[in-house]
């Protein structure tokens, strides 16, 4: 089932055009990864999809009653302010202990209810953010640089969890990353942004290749894949993928 669709989407802030000509759609159960360098319009795209920013031109269609779950890049928690995991997960909607128990177990961090948010490790924190998003039973889960700060085994474990969530709930997943090459292997599609969609395709699952082993080691168990960019007519400032792009 179609969840969101954009047609000729343009987002402008005053004189700055953050995004132009974006045609996009995502269906239930799909995993799509959006990659692009800093300033390429990824956040603007998410803001337009979620309705935080209105399109300057073009259209954004959302399935009526669409439930969105959002896992932010980071969330500042004031260490001086006491905030337990249970309380955090009950904001803004009150959640009973059993519901929180089950969800924390589901995301692989059982028994954390009484812990302070400020005392969690990076990986635990991300899983608690994911638990909060999942408590809303989303049709579409958007993850914004959700594995930033996690090491490679932590990222692999998080990717496995996201794939399980998709398989269990049928939710669509939209991952946003500024890593231009390494993506979640379960992504059905990768979109490369640079003010517009400059290329898109499937990631290459190359787990058997020695180059892959050299890059990822042995801890990722096939959760990560490489995205090969098609030749662009432009280069991306501050990143190298224009040089190693290849034509199909």
User: Residue 38, interface with ligand ATP (CB under 6 A)?
Assistant: yes
User: Residue 72, interface with ligand ATP (CB under 6 A)?
Assistant: no
Binding part of the chain for ligand ATP, among 39-47, 110-118, 123-131, 154-162 by CB under 6 A, reads 39-47
Residue 134 vs 193, nearer CB to ligand ATP = 193
Sheet holding 197-201, edge to edge: 68-71, 140-144, 172-177, 31-35, 189-193, 197-201
Contact string (CB under 6 A) for ligand ATP, positions 5-34, x = contact: --------x--x-x----------------
Near ligand ATP by CB under 6 A: residue from 41, 55, 123, 138: 41
Cβ proximity of 197 and 40 under 8 Å? no
Contact string (CB under 6 A) for ligand ATP, positions 149-188, x = contact: -----------------------------x----------
Measured CA distances, 73 to 14, 59, 77, 130, 162 (Å): 25, 26, 13, 11, 15
Near ligand ATP by CB under 6 A: residue from 3, 9, 36, 150: 36
Residue 177 vs 187, nearer CB to ligand ATP = 177
In angstroms, what is the minimal distance from the CB of 198 to ligand ATP? 13
Q: How many residues bind ligand ATP (CB under 6 A)?
A: 12
In angstroms, what is the minimal distance from the CB of 190 to ligand ATP? 15
Check whether the bond before 186 is cis (ω within 30° of 0).
no
Pairing of strands 182-184, 224-226: antiparallel
- Residues with Cβ within 8 Å of residue 126, at least 6 apart in sequence: 71, 146, 147, 149, 150, 158
User: Residue 40, interface with ligand ATP (CB under 6 A)?
Assistant: yes
Binding site for ligand ATP (CB under 6 A): 13, 16, 18, 36, 38-44, 178
């Amino acid at each position: 089932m179609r969840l969101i669709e954009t047609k000729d989407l343009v987002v402008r802030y005053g004189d700055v055009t953050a995004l132009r000509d974006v045609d996009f759609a995502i269906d239930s159960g799909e995993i799509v990864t959006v990659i692009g360098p800093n300033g390429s319009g990824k956040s603007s795209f998410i803001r337009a999809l979620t309705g935080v920013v209105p399109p300057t031109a073009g259209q954004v269609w959302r399935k009526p009653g669409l439930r969105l779950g959002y896992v932010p890049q980071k969330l500042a928690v004031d260490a001086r302010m006491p905030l337990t995991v249970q309380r955090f997960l009950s904001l803004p909607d009150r959640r009973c202990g059993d519901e929180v128990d089950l969800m924390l177990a589901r995301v692989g961090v059982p028994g954390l209810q009484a812990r302070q948010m400020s005392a969690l490790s990076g990986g635990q924190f991300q899983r608690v953010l994911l638990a909060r998003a999942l408590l809303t039973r989303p049709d579409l889960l958007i993850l914004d640089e959700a594995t930033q700060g996690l090491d490679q085994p932590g990222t692999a474990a998080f990717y496995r969890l996201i794939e399980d969530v998709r398989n269990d709930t049928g939710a669509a997943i939209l991952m946003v990353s500024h890593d231009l090459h390494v993506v979640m292997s379960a992504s059905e599609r990768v979109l490369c942004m640079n003010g517009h969609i400059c290329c898109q395709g499937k990631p290459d699952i190359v787990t058997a290749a020695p180059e892959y082993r050299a890059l990822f080691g042995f801890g990722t168990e096939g959760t990560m894949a490489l995205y090969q960019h098609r030749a662009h007519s432009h280069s991306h400032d501050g990143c190298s993928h224009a040089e190693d792009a290849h034509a199909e």
